[in-house]
């Protein structure tokens, strides 16, 4: 079956529940090797042959040509409903009920076939939030639609006046009939332009100090009163957005956690975000943007001995350093996952991986030399490398800046004195803002 022959994404009411029976049986059997073999059989049965052949050969250029983003999104519900997209989620929510350790070889097998997870904010942030704080009704209603990409999510946290100081957010949620009226503005909201739902933090009680009086919601983005404006980046794309709320509505049934407990929800979501952005071995994303270290090695060793970039000792040293860095990030993430997140502060992992990735993407561009500067539309490889380089500049900003994370490490890990917060105990409405 060709990618274009795949069925269209089903409407939520048509979406079958549950996971693939053979995968579920193998997951319950507890035999890791048997589970991986079952995953391999599933891939052979359900993934188009041309996609498999290109992935197995490591021919990413051909894979990108034949498996367009549109074709992959159309096919993706097959993966989402199998249990493989979210293997650690409970079975009733389209997962396989695996532990992190048991899911590791499953995710490695998916990476082998280049079966990447779509709806990353839904899978990595909204899903864990609902599992931690949602009601049974919310989980049953929202989680399967995240798994199969029916509902795509964004994160509505940062504001023009509340970025590093997120607790100072000003977007208001006021009781309105059976729900809440939302007014305010968010910024740097990744994928908001294509999201159907958003994790919203809004202030419900301005008379309390800023870390209190905040409530979390699962907001429907497709409604009057929600306006999304893209923010074009240096890389040319518009992943980030501004979002304006003017009388938007959210039902109380979509409130996540208790009224006024939004900061607790936010801290948990931010912890999941740091894990998502912590790079190779994290189990969520291998890197935030750009090419892999394997691609770097392939580019450096391309050609005949004596003419390869890696034959230059300076280049060889730089490539080796980056390979070692990537291995350290991977092993540190593996160890942290194995110990339930207690081995290393996620802030440290986020700093390590984001700064490493910037060096990695810069080296990719260095190896291309003048090709990286030519802007030749026909040179798709150079185009992807340059895009990865430009996109990586945001890695140390998104998900909390490296400066903020270093501050957190100083306070939490090194036990240095906390920064003085003169407004920590002041009612939010009395805090001076602006000029």
HSE (CB half, 13 Å, CA atoms) of 313? 0
Say which CATH topology domain 153-261 has. Butyryl-CoA Dehydrogenase, subunit A; domain 2 (2.40.110)
Residue with tokens 């790079």: 279
Residue 7 has pLDDT above 70, yes or no: no
The pTM score is 0.84
Higher pLDDT, residue 49 or 275: 49
- Paired residues of 156 in beta bridges: 200
Over the stretch 75-91, which tens digit does the pLDDT of each residue have? 999 999 999 999 999 99
User: Tell me, what DSSP letter sits at residue 343?
Assistant: S
- Can you tell me the distance from the alpha carbon of 263 to that of 92, in angstroms, rounded to the nearest whole number? 28
The fraction of the chain above a pLDDT of 90, given in percent, is: 67
Mean pLDDT of the chain: 89
179-186 and 240-251 strand pairing: antiparallel
Q: Which residues contact 249 (CB under 8 A, 6 or more apart)?
A: 176, 179, 180, 181, 182, 223, 225
- Can you tell me the distance from the alpha carbon of 286 to that of 384, in angstroms, rounded to the nearest whole number? 17
Binning the chain into helix, strand and coil, the percentages to the nearest 5 are: 50, 15, 35
Residue with tokens 């051909």: 62
214-220 and 197-203 strand pairing: antiparallel
**CA distance from start to end of the chain:** 62
Span 278-397: which CATH code?
Answer: 1.20.140.10
Confidence bin at 2 (pLDDT 50/70/90):
very low
Structure tokens at 328: 């350290």
Residue of 309, 318, 413 whose CA lies nearest to 368: 309
Confidence bin at 280 (pLDDT 50/70/90):
low
Tell me what pLDDT residue 399 has. Answer: 81
Tell me what pLDDT residue 8 has. Answer: 40
Task: Decide: residue 125, CB within 10 A, 0-12 exposed, 13-18 middle, 19+ buried.
Answer: buried
Cα-to-chain-centroid distance, residue 264: 20
- Can you tell me the distance from the alpha carbon of 201 to that of 169, in angstroms, rounded to the nearest whole number? 8
Tell me what pLDDT residue 435 has. Answer: 57
Confidence bin at 18 (pLDDT 50/70/90):
low
- Can you tell me the distance from the alpha carbon of 198 to that of 374, in angstroms, rounded to the nearest whole number? 39
Over the stretch 32-77, which tens digit does the pLDDT of each residue have? 999 999 999 999 999 999 999 999 998 877 898 899 999 999 999 9
Over the stretch 351-408, which tens digit does the pLDDT of each residue have? 999 999 999 999 999 999 999 999 898 998 899 899 999 999 988 888 888 998 899 8
- Can you tell me the distance from the alpha carbon of 372 to that of 363, in angstroms, rounded to the nearest whole number? 11
Point out the residues that are catalytic: 273
Task: Decide: residue 266, CB within 10 A, 0-12 exposed, 13-18 middle, 19+ buried.
Answer: buried
Tell me what pLDDT residue 281 has. Answer: 47
- Can you tell me the distance from the alpha carbon of 280 to that of 357, in angstroms, rounded to the nearest whole number? 10
Structure tokens at 303: 């050609």
For 346, phi then psi, to 5°, come to: -55, -30
Over the stretch 193-226, which tens digit does the pLDDT of each residue have? 999 999 999 999 999 999 999 999 999 999 999 9
Residue 6 has pLDDT above 90, yes or no: no
Higher pLDDT, residue 404 or 322: 322
Residue 4 has pLDDT above 60, yes or no: no
Q: Which residues contact 230 (CB under 8 A, 6 or more apart)?
A: 193, 238, 240, 241
Residue 288 has pLDDT above 80, yes or no: no
Over the stretch 109-155, which tens digit does the pLDDT of each residue have? 999 999 999 999 999 999 999 999 999 999 999 999 999 999 999 99
Residue with tokens 């942030």: 125
Check if the beta carbon of residue 71 is closer than 8 Å to that of residue 3: yes
Residue of 206, 161, 150 whose CA lies nearest to 426: 206
Residue 259 has pLDDT above 80, yes or no: yes
- Can you tell me the distance from the alpha carbon of 408 to that of 104, in angstroms, rounded to the nearest whole number? 29
Domain borders along the chain are 19-118, 153-261, 278-397
Residue of 396, 353, 394 whose CA lies nearest to 240: 394
Structure tokens at 128: 């864990």
CA torsion 157-163-167-171 (nearest 10°) is: -50
Check if the beta carbon of residue 103 is closer than 8 Å to that of residue 337: no
Q: What is the 3-state secondary structure (H, E, C) of 267-334?
A: HHHHHHHHHHCCCCCCCCCCCCCCCCHHHHHHHHCCCCCCCCHHHCHHHHHHHHHHHHHHHHHHHHHH
Tell me what pLDDT residue 233 has. Answer: 82
Tell me what pLDDT residue 186 has. Answer: 97
């Amino acid at each position: 079956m060709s990618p274009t022959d795949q069925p269209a994404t089903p409407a939520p009411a048509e979406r079958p529940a549950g996971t693939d029976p053979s995968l579920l049986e193998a997951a319950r059997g507890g035999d890791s090797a048997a589970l991986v073999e079952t995953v391999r059989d599933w891939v052979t049965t359900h993934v188009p042959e041309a996609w498999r052949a290109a992935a197995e050969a490591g021919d990413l250029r051909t894979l990108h040509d034949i498996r367009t983003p549109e074709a992959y999104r159309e096919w993706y519900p097959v993966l989402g409903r199998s249990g493989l997209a979210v293997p650690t989620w409970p079975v009733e929510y389209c997962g396989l009920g695996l532990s992190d350790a048991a899911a590791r070889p499953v995710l490695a097998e998916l990476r082998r076939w280049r079966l990447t997870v779509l709806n990353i904010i839904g899978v990595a942030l909204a899903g864990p939030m609902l599992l931690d704080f949602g009601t049974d009704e919310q989980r049953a209603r929202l989680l399967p639609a995240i798994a199969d990409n029916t509902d795509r999510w964004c994160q509505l946290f940062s504001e023009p006046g509340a970025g590093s100081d997120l607790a100072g957010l000003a977007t208001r949620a006021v009781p309105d009939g059976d729900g809440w009226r939302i007014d305010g503005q968010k910024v740097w909201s990744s994928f908001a332009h294509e999201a159907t739902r958003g994790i919203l933090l809004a202030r419900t009680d301005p008379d309390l100090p800023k870390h209190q009086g905040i409530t979390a919601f699962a907001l429907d983005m497709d409604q009057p009163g929600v306006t999304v404006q893209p923010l074009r980046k240096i890389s040319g794309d518009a992943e980030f957005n501004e979002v304006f709320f003017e009388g938007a509505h959210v039902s109380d049934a979509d409130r996540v956690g208790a009224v006024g407990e939004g900061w607790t929800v936010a801290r948990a979501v931010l912890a999941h975000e740091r894990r998502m952005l912590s790079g190779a071995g994290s189990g969520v994303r291998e890197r935030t943007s750009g090419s892999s270290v394997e691609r770097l090695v392939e580019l450096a060793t391309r050609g005949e001995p004596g003419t390869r970039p890696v034959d230059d000792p300076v280049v060889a040293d730089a490539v080796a350093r980056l390979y070692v860095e990537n291995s350290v990030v991977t092993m540190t993430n593996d160890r942290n996952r194995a110990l339930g997140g207690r081995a290393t502060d996620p802030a440290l992992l986020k700093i390590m991986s984001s700064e490493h990735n910037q060096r990695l993407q810069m080296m990719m561009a260095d190896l291309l030399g003048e090709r990286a500067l030519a802007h030749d539309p026909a040179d798709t490889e150079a185009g992807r490398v340059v895009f990865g380089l430009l996109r990586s500049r945001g890695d140390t900003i998104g998900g909390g800046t490296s400066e903020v994370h270093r501050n957190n490490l100083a306070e939490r890990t090194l036990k240095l004195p906390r920064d003085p917060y003169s407004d920590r105990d002041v009612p939010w409405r009395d805090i001076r803002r602006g000029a």
